[in-house]
C-alpha cells in the first residue's frame, strides 16, 4: 500500500503539491446511499482554510471542492469519491532562493536526499496545504458516523506556546481564531502579535475528542485503535507528540488510581481515553497532540545549501507563525478517518456478534 | 491487511494467546542470504522474558524459539520465517473468577464486547506475552540493519512511577533489572518493593534510540517514519503516549530554538529526533513512550460482571507490577521493525537515486 | 502486504518448505464465535494428502493439523488461528544432485536467480506441498460460508491429459482417486499406469464450483470477484489457464447467445459463470483451470547447471505424475478463501444496503 | 486496500464514471527523477480512445490527460502523480429506460443488488471507459521499464468472433483498426459490418507479450507474477479467460514436451510463457485472454426490471460491437502495471542479491 493512502477499507488517497495546479483525494470504500454534496464537505474546509485571521498565513485560497465521481443524484454510489481543489494563490517566485538551501527543522533536507530532487515551491508535497484533502475526506467520514452512530468530533487548542489555555466550554471554540475553549482570547492575540513582530514562531497543544463512538472498534495486535490514532496524529505536519487519555501523566499514577472503575451506570473516570486494549470502550476518545513551532520563519538561521556550504537561511513567502492554530479541524478529520475505517473493519469481522448484555453507558461528565 | 500483521514489505504476522499451546510469528519479506540461527533471536527474547528478577512476573517461561521455515543451511532464503515459542508455565486455574468480570483499566471489557466471547486465561490475546514474537521478529530486523547500515537500537528507562531516572550512560542498562542508565538502582529496587507490598502498580517512561539510520526513510503523506513509529509504540500494551525528539516540550519552544541548525559538519542539535517531514535525517532517532500502571493488581477494585452487576475485582495470577520494566527490549524491536520496513520501501522506490552530495554527518554528541 | 499472505480481511499467511520441520499458516480475521476443531480441518487435508493411491506421490504424510491459537473452548475467538503441520516423511538425500541443476519447466531456475540461493529439498518453497496449509485455511472459510449462507464448494477433474472426462454426476467424485465425475475410471487408471511406465507426466483440467454464493460479492474496479478468483487459481502450482463460465468459448459466441437472459424465476443460463461486472450474481460460480504436466520426471531432460554448463537432468525423489489429480480439494479451498474474503469486504461497506427487491432465484439446473 | 487501487508499491487508484464530470487516477510510488509529460501518456490513450473507426463506439472523447501533481520541471518527484481526463461527450438521455432494467450479461443487475443504487448512465462505474485511466497509468510504467530494462509491451488480436487471425508480424498491428497482426484486414472489416447490421456483438481473443523482462520478478506463494497477471486480465471488462504460455493446451501435453529445455544459449521453447514457479524467467511473457461479446446490443433481449417483472431490453446509446477491438492497448497497460509493481517489490527484498552467474539469454525466436 502506498504512503499516500490512508485506511484499510475507507481508503483516502491524497495527491498534490502546495503550488501545483490542484490538490485533492480519492475516497474509496464509502458506504453507498449516503446523501452527499459539496456543501457537506466545504464547511470543514472553510474552518481549516488560510487567510481567515491575521494570525495565520495570508495566502488566499477559497479551497472550493469539486466532487468528480462517486455521487449520483445526490447520493454516494459506493464507488470512489474523487475530490478536487484547484490551487489559486500560488506565488512561486517567493521560493527561488530556498530551492537550493535547507531550512532548519524543515523537510527540505530529507526530501532532497530521499528523492534526489524536490519541488521547493511552498514546501511542495511537505506543505501543510496537503491537509486540506484530508479534511475533506474527514468530512465524509464524520457525516457517515454521525448519521449511523451519532458520533461527534471536536478539537480545541489547550496550549499556545508557553501559555496554557484553560478549558471553559466547547461552545467558545467556534468563536475565536484559535479554536480556544475560552470566551476571551485577548491574551493569545497579544501573544501572537508579539511573536510575529519577533519574526518567530511557536508551538501549540491540541485536544481532540470523539464522543458517541461505539464499543468494539480496533484490531489488535498491531492495528489497535489507539495505534492508528497515534499514527495519523504523528503524521500530521509538525506534530511531535501524541497521547491518549491520561497520556504521559499516567507514568506517575498508581494502578489503583489509573484504572477507571466500572459501575452499572458507566465508567467512573476516563484515564483510558476511551480505549482499552486497543479497542474502543464507548467512552469519549480523548487525544492530545503536541505541535512544534513552524520552521519557516523570517529570522535568519544557520544552515547549509545543497552543496554542503554554510548559508544563512531567511524564509520569505507566507507562513503560519503557529501551525497549531489551524490544526483543530485537521485533527478532528484524522480522528474521524480512523474511527470510520475501524467501524467498517469491525462490522466486517464481527457483524454477527450478538451481545448478551448491552455496553454500559459512557462516562457522563462529558463537558470537560 | 489484518490487524495481526505489521509492515508493508517486512511483514510480521503474530499469533497466540497467553495460555494457549504456543505463540509465534511469521516474518515474510526478509532479504535472502543473511546468516540466521535461533541464537541470533534468543538473545533479545532472554532480555524480555519473565521471571528474571523479583520485580517482574514470576511466570517461568524459557521462551525458547524454534525456526520452522525460511532458513536453509544457516541462511535466510527469502521465504517466510516462521518462529514458534511453546508456552510452558500456564496456570489457567488462576483465572476462573475473572472470566466473568471486567478488570478496571483492562481489555477484558472491550474484548468481550467486540468479539462476544474472550479467552480469559492470562489476558488471552491481550496479554503482554504476545510481545515475545514481536521481539523475535525485531531481532531479525536488527541483524539485517546492523549488517547493512551499522544501525544500532537501544532503550532505557528514564522514569519509574514518580521517580525520574537521570541518564548516566548506556553502559549501565544491561547491568540492572530496570534497563536503567544508572550505576546504582537501589532507590528503584526499594520503590518496587514498597509498591508490591502495597499491592499496587506503577507506570514508567522509556527512551528508545536508533543510531546509524540512513537518511531518506519514510513515506509521506501518511506513512511517515514518525507516524509508523508512533503507531507501533502506541500499540504496545499499556502505552498511553509517544513523542519524537523534543516531543511535548516543543510546544513551549520558539521556532528560532526548535529547528536544529545545519552545519557542514552535521546538525547542531536534535530537537527533531532524527526525523524531518516524516523522513529520517540520518541523526539518531529519539523516541519517548509513556507506560501506564498495570491494571492487574491484587488490591480490590470496583467493577461490574458480564451481566452488568457491581462486583469487587481482585486479580490473582502472576503479573508485572510495572510492565515498563521489561519494555525496553520490546520498544527496541518495534523501532527496528519500522526502520526495516521503511528501508525496504525506500530501496524499492528510490533505489536509483544518486545523491549529488553525500548526507551530512549525523549529530555527534550521541552518548546522551 | 507480503507475497505469502492472501486476502484483505480474511488473511491467510502461509509458511514452510517441502522438507523443513513444519508447514502451516496463520488465519487472521476469522469471525468469532464459530465452532472449530482440528477435525473440521482434517477432512479436506485428508482429501488432498499424498500417498492415497498409486497414481500420486508415495510420500507418506499424515498431514495432521494442530490448532495453536485463536480457538477457546471450541469456538473461534476472532484472534489469529495458527495451524501447524509437521513434516514427517522427508527424504532430502534424494535431492543432492539437482541442487545444482535446473529442471526444465521447474521453479529451480527462477528461485535461484531471484534469491541467489534456494532450498532444493523437494522443491523447497515452490513445492505443491505448500498447498496443504491453503487447504486447511480453506476448510475454515468453507465452514463459515456454509453455516452463514449455505454455500457449497466442489471440484472435479474434467480432462486428464488427452482424455476428456464426461460429466455424469457430482456423486462419483468422492469415490475414485481422480476426483472424476464418472462411475467407471478404469480408462483413466490405465492411462496413468501407462504414463508412469513411460516415465512421463500429463496435465489435467479441473472444474470448480461454488453454489449458494450471495449476490453482491466483489469489489470493482480492480478487486473484482473473478479477478481475485483468477489470481488464486493461476497462483496454484502448475496452473497455466483460468476461465470463468463460458470462458474461452465465449470468444466465438454472439452477444445474443452469450448474455444469460433474466426471468422472474431466475437466470436462463450461466455463460457468465455466476459473475457479472466482477460481482457475484447469486448463480453458481463456475471456474475452469488448466494444469500443466509435472516438470519433475524421471525421463532425462536437456538442461544446464548453475554454472551454465549443459547437463542431463533426471529427477529422482517422489513426485505426482499428474499434479492435477490432487488439485480438486485445493481449488475448492482457493475459491472458498476468495469468496470468504469478499463476503467480509462486502459486509463492511454495504452492510446497510436494504434491497427493495430480493435477488432472483439462481439458475435452477445445478446438477450439470 | 480498496478495490479501486492496484499494486503494492506502484499503486494506481482509479476513479470516475462513464458520464460523470471526469475520470482519472492517482499513481503513487513512481520512482523519482524520470522525465514525464502529458505527451508521454497521450500516445497510449489515443490508441485506446473511441471513435477512431466505424467498428467501435462513436462516442467522441479526446481523452486529453492533465497531470495535476507529482511532476516538477518535467521530472517525477516521487510523490503521487494525479491524472485527470474530463468527460466531454456524455449523452445521458440515452440511458433513461434501462435505468430500471437489467441488461442480460451486464453488471446492471449485480451493481444494483450490491450497492442498492447505481449510476445507469453509460454503465456508470462498470463502463469500459474506466480503462482509460488504467492505460494512462500503464504508460508511466511502460516508460520506466523501457528506460530501466528495455522492456517492451505489445498486444494483438488473434481471434475475432469465429475467425482465427493468423500471426504474420507485429508490424501490421499499428496499421489497422483491429490491432491484427496481418496485412489485409478486409475479411474482418466485412465480418464486423455484417455483425452491426445483425444488431449483434462478438468476442475476441487477444495476445499480450512483454519482452525484456528481467529474471526474478514475482512473489510466491500468493503474489506470483502469473497470479497477478491473471488477476488484472480477468478484471478487465468482458474478459472470461486468461492463459499463460501454452495455457489450456498444456493439459494435453506430456511433461517431456511441455518443460522448456534449458541450454547455455537460452531456453529451447516457451511453453512456460516466461514464468516458472510464479517468477519471471527472462523469456518473453506470453498471455492470452478471452473477451466475451458485448452485452449492450440493440437486439431485444428477455430480462426483468428492478421490480422483478419481465421486460424486453433494447440497449440504445453508443457501444462497441466488439470490445476486444480496443483491448490491445489496455491489456498492454495492465501487464506493464503488474511488471512494474513486481520490479519494485523485487528490488526491495532482493536488491542485494549478487548472481554468481548471469541469467541465460532469453529464447531467441521472438517474432512469433
Range C90-99 average pLDDT: 70
Q: How far is CA A76 from CA A140, C247, C351, D17, in A?
A: 10, 34, 14, 13
Helices (H), D183-304: 186-197, 225-234, 255-258
- Residue D364, pLDDT score: 45
pLDDT digits (tens, 9 = 90+) for D67-100: 999 999 999 999 999 999 999 877 666 666 778 8
Give me the residue from C15, C21, C82 closest to B16, CB to CB. C82
CATH number of the domain enclosing C99: 3.60.150.10
Which chains reach chain D with 3 or more Cβ–Cβ distances below 8 angstroms?
A, B, C
Please name which of B72, B69, B47, B54 lies closest in space to residue B192, comparing C-alpha atoms. B54
Identify all chain C residues contacting A220, using CB atoms and an 8 Å cutoff.
79
Q: Residue D367 pLDDT > 90, yes or no?
A: no
In a domain, A21, yes or no: no
Interface of D with B in 4-43 (CB under 8 A): 8-9, 29-33
The C-alpha cell that represents D198 in the structure block: 445483425
Q: CB contact, 8 Å: B312 with chain A?
A: no
Q: CB contact, 8 Å: D164 with chain B?
A: no
Q: How are beta strands B239-244 and A71-72 bridged, if at all?
A: unpaired
Identify all chain C residues contacting D277, using CB atoms and an 8 Å cutoff.
106-108, 110-111, 126, 237
Q: CB contact, 8 Å: D68 with chain A?
A: yes
Query: Which residues are within 8 A (CB) of A102 and not within 5 positions of it... i.e. 6 or more apart?
Result: A108, A109, A112, A303, A304, A305, A306, A313, B262
- Residue D356, pLDDT score: 64
- Residue D368, pLDDT score: 44
- Residue C295, pLDDT score: 87
Please name which of A281, A315, A262, A275 lies closest in space to residue A108, comparing C-alpha atoms. A315
Interface of C with A in 125-154 (CB under 8 A): 148
In a domain, A123, yes or no: yes
pLDDT digits (tens, 9 = 90+) for C276-297: 999 999 999 999 999 999 988 8
State the burial class of residue B112 (Cβ atoms within 10 Å of its Cβ: 0-12, 13-18, 19+).
Answer: buried
- Domain extent at residue B202: 92-350
Contact A347 C348 (CB under 8 A): yes
Contact between residue C241 and residue C196 where contact means Cβ atoms under 8 Å apart = no
Contact between residue D265 and residue D361 where contact means Cβ atoms under 8 Å apart = yes
- Residue B368, pLDDT score: 45
State the complex-level ipTM.
0.97
Which chains reach chain C with 3 or more Cβ–Cβ distances below 8 angstroms?
A, B, D
Q: Residue C329 pLDDT > 90, yes or no?
A: yes
The C-alpha cell that represents B91 in the structure block: 496456570
- Residue C361, pLDDT score: 63
- Residue D249, pLDDT score: 98
CA distance B102 to B109: 5
How many Cα atoms within 13 Å fall on the side-chain side of residue A166? 4
pLDDT digits (tens, 9 = 90+) for D287-307: 999 999 998 888 899 999 999
Contact between residue D183 and residue D172 where contact means Cβ atoms under 8 Å apart = yes
- Residue D90, pLDDT score: 74
- Residue B295, pLDDT score: 87
Identify all chain B residues contacting C68, using CB atoms and an 8 Å cutoff.
15-16, 20-22, 24
State how far residue C339 is from chain A, nearest Cα, in angstroms.
Answer: 13
For C213-233, give the DSSP string. PPTT--BTTTB-HHHHHHHHH
In a domain, D235, yes or no: yes
pLDDT digits (tens, 9 = 90+) for B309-359: 999 998 876 778 899 999 999 999 999 999 999 999 999 999 999 866 667
CA distance A80 to A30: 7
Contact B220 D79 (CB under 8 A): yes
State how far residue A300 is from chain D, nearest Cα, in angstroms.
Answer: 28
- Residue B357, pLDDT score: 63
Q: What are phi and psi of A58, to 5 degrees?
A: -90, 10
Closest D-chain CA to C297: D255
pTM: 0.97
Q: Centre a 10 Å sphere on the Cβ of residue C329 and count the other Cβ atoms it contains.
A: 24
Torsion sign over Cα C254, C258, C261, C265: positive
pLDDT digits (tens, 9 = 90+) for C164-191: 999 999 999 999 999 999 999 999 999 9
In a domain, B37, yes or no: no
In a domain, D31, yes or no: no
Q: Residue C90 pLDDT > 50, yes or no?
A: yes
In a domain, D364, yes or no: no
- Residue D91, pLDDT score: 67
Range B108-115 average pLDDT: 95
- Residue A286, pLDDT score: 98
In a domain, A29, yes or no: no
Range C204-212 average pLDDT: 98
Question: How many domains are contained in chain A?
Answer: 1
Contact between residue C134 and residue C4 where contact means Cβ atoms under 8 Å apart = no
CA distance D193 to B317: 82
Range B150-173 average pLDDT: 98
Q: CB contact, 8 Å: D90 with chain A?
A: no
The C-alpha cell that represents C294 in the structure block: 509435472
> In this predicted structure, which of C245-259, D52-66, D331-345 has the lowest mean pLDDT?
D52-66
pLDDT beneath 70: ranges in chain A: 1, 91-96, 317, 356-357, 361-368
Identify all chain C residues contacting B124, using CB atoms and an 8 Å cutoff.
72, 77, 79
Mutate to test the interface with B, among A240, A274, A306, A313 (most CBs of B within 10 A): A240
- Residue D366, pLDDT score: 41
Q: Residue B1 pLDDT > 80, yes or no?
A: no
Exposure class string for A143-161: b at 16+ Cβ within 10 A, else e: bbbeeeeebbbbbbbbbbb
Closest B-chain CA to D349: B31
Mean of the per-residue pLDDT values for chain D? 93
- Residue B339, pLDDT score: 98
Identify all chain B residues contacting D345, using CB atoms and an 8 Å cutoff.
9, 348
Q: How far is CA C48 from CA C91, C323, C324, D15, in A?
A: 20, 11, 11, 42
- Residue C204, pLDDT score: 98
CA distance D284 to D206: 16
In a domain, D367, yes or no: no
Terminal CA-CA length for chain C: 39
- Residue C358, pLDDT score: 67
pLDDT band for B366, please (50, 70, 90 cuts). Answer: very low
Q: How far is CA A298 from CA A202, A295, A321, C37, in A?
A: 13, 10, 10, 68
Amino acid at each position: 500500500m502506498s504512503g499516500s493512502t490512508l485506511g484499510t477499507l475507507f481508503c483516502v488517497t491524497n495527491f498534490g503539491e502546495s503550488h501545483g495546479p490542484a490538490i485533492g483525494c480519492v475516497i474509496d470504500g464509502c458506504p453507498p446511499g449516503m446523501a452527499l454534496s459539496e456543501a457537506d464537505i466545504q464547511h470543514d474546509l472553510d474552518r481549516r482554510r488560510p487567510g481567515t485571521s491575521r494570525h495565520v498565513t495570508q495566502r488566499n485560497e477559497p479551497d472550493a471542492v469539486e466532487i468528480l465521481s462517486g455521487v449520483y443524484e445526490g447520493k454516494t454510489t459506493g464507488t470512489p469519491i474523487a475530490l478536487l481543489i484547484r490551487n489559486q494563490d500560488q506565488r512561486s517566485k517567493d521560493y527561488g532562493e530556498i530551492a537550493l538551501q535547507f531550512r532548519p527543522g524543515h523537510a527540505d533536507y530529507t526530501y532532497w536526499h530521499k528523492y534526489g530532487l524536490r519541488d521547493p515551491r511552498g514546501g511542495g508535497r511537505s506543505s501543510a496545504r496537503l491537509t486540506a484533502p484530508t479534511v475533506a475526506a474527514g468530512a465524509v467520514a464524520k457525516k457517515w458516523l454521525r448519521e449511523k452512530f451519532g458520533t461527534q468530533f471536536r478539537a480545541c487548542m489547550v496550549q499556545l506556546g508557553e501559555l496554557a489555555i484553560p478549558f471553559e466550554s466547547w461552545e467558545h471554540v467556534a468563536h475565536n481564531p484559535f479554536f480556544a475553549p475560552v470566551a476571551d482570547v485577548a491574551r493569545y492575540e497579544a501573544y501572537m502579535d508579539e511573536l510575529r513582530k519577533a519574526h518567530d514562531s511557536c508551538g501549540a497543544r491540541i485536544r481532540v475528542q470523539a464522543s458517541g463512538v461505539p464499543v468494539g472498534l480496533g484490531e489488535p495486535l498491531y492495528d489497535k485503535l489507539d495505534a492508528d490514532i497515534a499514527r495519523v496524529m504523528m503524521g500530521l505536519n509538525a506534530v511531535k507528540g501524541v497521547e491518549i487519555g491520561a497520556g504521559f501523566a499516567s507514568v506517575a499514577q498508581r494502578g489503583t488510581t489509573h484504572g477507571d472503575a466500572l459501575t452499572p451506570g458507566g465508567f467512573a473516570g476516563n484515564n483510558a481515553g476511551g480505549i482499552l486494549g486497543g479497542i474502543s470502550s464507548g467512552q469519549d476518545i480523548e487525544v492530545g497532540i503536541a505541535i512544534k513551532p513552524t520552521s519557516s520563519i523570517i529570522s535568519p538561521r544557520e544552515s547549509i545549501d545543497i552543496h554542503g556550504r554554510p548559508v544563512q537561511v531567511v524564509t520569505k513567502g507566507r507562513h503560519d507563525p503557529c501551525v497549531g492554530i489551524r490544526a483543530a479541524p485537521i485533527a478532528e478529520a484524522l480522528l474521524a478517518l480512523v474511527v470510520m475505517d475501524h467501524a467498517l473493519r469491525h462490522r466486517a469481522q464481527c457483524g454477527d456478534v450478538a451481545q448478551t448484555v448491552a455496553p454500559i453507558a459512557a462516562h457522563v461528565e462529558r463537558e470537560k
